[in-house]
Structure 1
Amino acid sequence: MKAALLKAYGGVDQFEIGDLPIPQPAAGEVLIKIAASAVHPFDLILRQGFMAQYIPLPLPAVLGGDAAGTVVELGQGVTGLAVGDRVVADFAANGKGAHAEYGVVPATSIAKLPAELSFEEGASLVKAGLTGRQTVEALGVKPGDRVLVSGGLGAVGRAALQYLKQIGATPVAGVRPERLGEARELADEALDITVPPTSATFDRAISAAGPVAGNLIRHVRDGGKVVSIVPVPKDVNPGNRVSIHELYHRTDAAMLGDVLDAGARGVLVVPIAQTLPLNQLGAAHEAVASGAQGKVVLRH
């Protein structure tokens, strides 16, 4: 099968299209013919080797954590799925990822793709949808709560804002000043997150944009809680006056099914900024690095 291979850690020039054997599903696993995969910002960190100490990749490696495609073979013991099913899959960061013609994942990382969604749309919702929902759940949000989300127009931020609306909370998007109008179309309120506030008015917040973590925390009252998907510098929370929980996405097939259902109903939308062929993975990484306004998706 054709695959986009990362030959060595470094720049996008380390990608090349090569041939690999089609993987075979073990017990509890599923083989998928991949139709579309999405590029996640974490892929750029993996490519550059910044996580090599913690997640060493077997080079040459196949990156890509978010995919959609069709089931072609079931491993022993897999139930609830059939050959021919349209599905999405949440691939692990293990160097055997989704930027290839075929991929194998545990059945517990797969959900069926509703007919209302294309393969490209399905791939765009996987980690963004799961992570956005998990940040809200980690905060313990209740209906009526007012929650600030920095990076509110990024993929995870959008998913969080839309899920907050679904559960009856009041989402507030923290964005750059030039994007306030766009943010107000998505959230109940929006504010300029680049400006430190004069007072703290939130008990709960989600940090999805690292450079403004200090301003976000200044918006939170003493004893409040922040869930962050990006590292938070220790010096922005003197005296640990707010509780900070750094969250790393977890795979969850049932939750992924709920995310896709929300997408099919139109209550979760993550825009696709660009769609490229698999052999342009390097250009896709460059688009993400340059701040593409939406997901960058590869068509296989």
Structure 2
Amino acid sequence: MRAVVIERLGGAEVLQLKELERPQPGPGEVLVQVVCAGVNPADWKCREGYLGAFLDYRFPFVLGFDLAGTVVALGEGVDDLPLGSRVFAQSDVGAGKWGSYAEYACVSRASLVAMPENLDFAAAAAVPTPALAAWTGLLEEGALRPGQTVLVHGGGSAVGGFAIQFARCAGARIATTCSADNAGQAKASGAELAIDYRAGDIHGALRRWAPEGVDLVLDCIGGGSLPNGLDLLRPGGALVAILTLAPGDAGPDHAEAARRGLRTAVAYSRMPSGELLGRIASLLAAGRVRPPALDLLPLSDVASAHDRLQHGHARRKQVLQVAG
């Protein structure tokens, strides 16, 4: 099979398109013929070694967290998926196994979900990691409830876009920070207030919208890009940061939050993630949530996709066309 592999950690130059032996599914696994693979910021961080605390790299290593494709073989103990089923999932790369940048991938049955019929493979591949991160941060760690107020910091990102839509579905009132170019889409997705983080006074605008502060701040960007985020919360509020794995990103100030009687948490996708992704698939199938706009690139352009994400030049979700 064709696959993008790395033989060592490093920059985008370590990405190589090679021929590898097709994997065989083990017990509880499914072999998926990958049609499209989503590209996430976690991918370039994985490539550079920032996931070393979470997994053992065994070279050659195939990157890629997200995939959409068809079932072609079943491992021992799996008998509930017809061959040819259209599925999407997070890969098992977070467990140190080969990921989705390949023509075939073995995936835990517990992670696989039937693709909504109203999505094509590219759209489905754009969903798992950002949607799961947004749901976990907003609804699990953030415990957002109907009628509450939330600030989604980074509403123009894939994670932020899903967070706005999930908050709308949860019956919350939503403000977001984003670029002026993304304000229209953020409001169409459910945000009442869109603050231009480049030119606007985030604290002033938010206090005019929610004078006592908001119930929840979901930081989808990190890296100190939301200074004094705790000041935006009402008494008893919560600040939840999406795990970035970026070097030097210390995350929320947990001690200061506790001193003020506020709550903080760091959100990340839990694996296997099929049960939660199934709930998200239901919202997608009903048209209540939409996948992000995307750029579809050939597998050979993977280095370009990584560079765009790493250096902040990706205006849309990056997805790789693995099979025709």
TM-score where L is the length of structure 2: 0.86
Q: Classify the secondary structure of the residue corresponding to 2:167.
A: helix
Q: 1:128 aligns with which of 127, 130, 141?
A: 130
Describe the superposition over 1:69-126 as per-residue Cα deviations: whole angstroms up to 9, x where unpaired: 0000111211431111000021132251000000001100000012211000111011
**How many residues get paired?**
300
Partner deviation per Cα, 1:146-187 (whole Å, 9 max, x = no partner) = 111101111111111101111211121122455434432321
The reply on whether 1:282 has 2:303 as its aligned counterpart is yes
1:184 aligns with 2:187: yes
Q: Is the 8 A contact 1:38 1:66 kept in 2?
A: yes
1:60, 1:256 → 2: CA distance? Answer: 29
Shift of 1:265: 2.7
Aligned equivalent of 1:234? 253
Question: Residue 291 of structure 1 corresponds to which residue in structure 2?
Answer: 313
The equivalences for 1:218-229 within 5 A come to 218-229=231-242
Partner of 1:272: 293
Q: CA deviation at 1:41?
A: 0.4
Q: Which amino acid aligns with 1:184?
A: K
Deviation at 1:190, TM superposition (A): 2.0
Contact conserved, 1:196 with 1:218, CA < 8 A, in 2? no
Task: Tell me what 2:77 maps to.
Answer: 77
1:142-291 to structure 2, matched below 5 A, reads 142-177=145-180, 179-186=182-189, 187-193=191-197, 195-198=201-204, 199=207, 201-210=213-222, 211-230=224-243, 231-232=250-251, 234=253, 237=256, 240-241=259-260, 242-251=262-271, 252-289=273-310, 290-291=312-313
CA distance in 1, matches of 2:255, 2:179: 19
User: Per-residue displacement from partner, 1:21-57 (whole Å, max 9, x unpaired)?
Assistant: 1111111110000000011101111111223244331
- Evaluate the alpha carbon distance shift between residue 95 and residue 253 of structure 1 in structure 2; reply closer, same or farther with a 3 A threshold: closer
Q: Structure 2 CA distance, aligned partners of 1:196 and 1:274?
A: 30
- For structure 1, list consecutive stretches of 5 or more residues without a partner in the other structure: none
Specify the alignment match of 2:246 in structure 1. none
List aligned pairs for 1:85-96, cutoff 5 A.
Answer: 85-92=85-92, 93=94, 94-96=96-98
How much does 1:240 deviate?
4.0
- 1:239-284: CA deviation from partner (whole Å, max 9, x where unpaired): 6422110011113212212212222333222323311111211111
Q: Is the counterpart of residue 50 in structure 1 residue 50 in structure 2? A: yes
Distance 1:35 1:176, change over 3 A: same
Pairwise CA RMSD of aligned residues?
Answer: 2.1
Aligned-partner residue type, residue 246 of structure 1: V
TM-score, normalising length from structure 1?
A: 0.92
Compare 281-290 and 209-218 and name the one that shifted more. Answer: 209-218
Contact 1:197-1:215 at 8 Å conserved across structures: no
The farther-off stretch of 84-93 and 222-231 is 222-231
Q: How much has 1:292 moved relative to structure 2? A: 1.2
Q: Identify the range of structure 1 (52-61 vs 240-249) with the bigger mean alpha-carbon deviation.
A: 52-61
Q: Identity of aligned pairs, percent? A: 31
The farther-off stretch of 59-68 and 134-143 is 134-143
> 3-state SS of the aligned residue for 1:250?
coil
Deviation larger for 92-101 or 27-36 = 92-101
Counterpart of 1:12 in structure 2 is: 12
- Determine the C-alpha separation between the residues in 2 that align with 1:28 and 1:61: 22
Structure 1 runs (4+) greater than 6 angstroms displaced? none
Change (3 A) 1:239 1:105: closer
Counterparts of 1:109 and 1:53 in 2: how far apart (Å)?
A: 22
C-alpha change, 1:237 and 1:176, in structure 2 (3 Å) is: farther
3-state SS of 1:197 partner: helix
Question: 2:63·2:101 contact (CA, 8 Å) conserved in 1?
Answer: yes
